[in-house]
Structure 1
């Protein structure tokens, strides 16, 4: 990577963490300059606007979460184990709450809530990321059904909705109350749910 590429990557990484903690609307250019150590011109050398930076920062944050997922389930052969490994990734909010990208909670949840009406391009990007996450669960379930590892009566899209809703809701509750017990309960419940309803 060139020095310019390194600088751009650093801006994106720092901005992603800032936006996840303070929100896009709540983060000023002064805040971005503070966390990056750059002047406004140095930032705008790499981005057309704050909105451009926000989209690239969101993509970066999502890519970091996806990397965690891939790492968690890459060595798992069974569909049930893969689902449980992805759910277990959410322990990062318990075990490593100061992770730069996760410090403010789940970037996808935060962005989906904040960008609802105020930032249509960011909302579309959040929807795309959510669709990708749902598709991941559905594909694992469909392959599990074909391999005889998951109950064939299971509706993959329904299960994806349940898992995502419970995980995201529990992250929100744990973050709001400063207590990881809500996420711990959700992870336990989802593992019990998978063992009771999906496993053959």
Structure 2
């Protein structure tokens, strides 16, 4: 890795938690210089602008979440177990190495829906990838007889995503962790009924 690549990576690692917590609009150049210890010129010598830093930070945070989930999924032997990984991780994300600020997909989607087309596209792609991953697990579970045939795969996958992200949003808005646990329990019951 070249010195420039190392510097870019350093900037992303140090500013990713800020973007995921404060969002694009709330993150200032001062936040970035304070987090990195670098000057404005050094940051913008490695990135064209704040947008480019934010996009790289989203990728970094999302990759972190995907890595945590994929690692747990690989350990499961059943497709039901693979789906239940999501409820375990999202119910306990405060105790896992999740990005500071929580779920970057939810955070970015909410902030960027009307304000930042490039970040919105990244969050939409992340949701699409997540939907495809769930659909693959559901299809394979049906193929081996673990899940009942006849379910609408896309609808089920989107419902799981919406319910998980909704649980996070409700918990963040209310500060009531028991709400997240109650909703994750409902998702577990839904998965166990497949």
Interval of TM-score (by shorter of Structure 1 and Structure 2): over 0.9
Q: Which runs of 5+ in 1 are unaligned?
A: none
Q: Which runs of 5+ in 2 are unaligned?
A: none
1:84 aligned residue: 84
Contact 1:14 1:35 in 2 (8 A): yes
Instruction: Compute the TM-score of the two structures, normalised by the length of structure 2.
Output: 0.94
Contact 1:72 1:86 in 2 (8 A): no
- Aligned residues between the structures: 194
* Change in CA separation of 1:156 and 1:100 when aligned onto 2, cut-off 3 Å: closer
1:161 aligned residue: 158
Work out whether 1:115 is the aligned partner of 2:97.
no
SS in 2 for 1:45: helix
Contact 1:138 1:156 in 2 (8 A): yes
Work out whether 1:71 is the aligned partner of 2:68.
no
RMSD of the alignment, in Å? 1.5
Query: How far off its partner does 1:86 sit?
Result: 2.4
Query: How far off its partner does 1:183 sit?
Result: 1.1
CA distance in 2 between counterparts of 1:81 and 1:61 reads: 25
Runs (4 or more) in structure 1 with deviation over 2 Å come to 1-7, 91-96
What is the 5 A alignment of 1:84-163?
Answer: 84-96=84-96, 99=97, 101=99, 103-163=100-160
Contact 1:170 1:183 in 2 (8 A): yes
Instruction: Compute the TM-score of the two structures, normalised by the length of structure 1.
Output: 0.91
Query: How far off its partner does 1:180 sit?
Result: 1.1
Between Structure 1 and Structure 2, which shows a larger proportion of helix residues?
2
Query: How far off its partner does 1:40 sit?
Result: 0.7
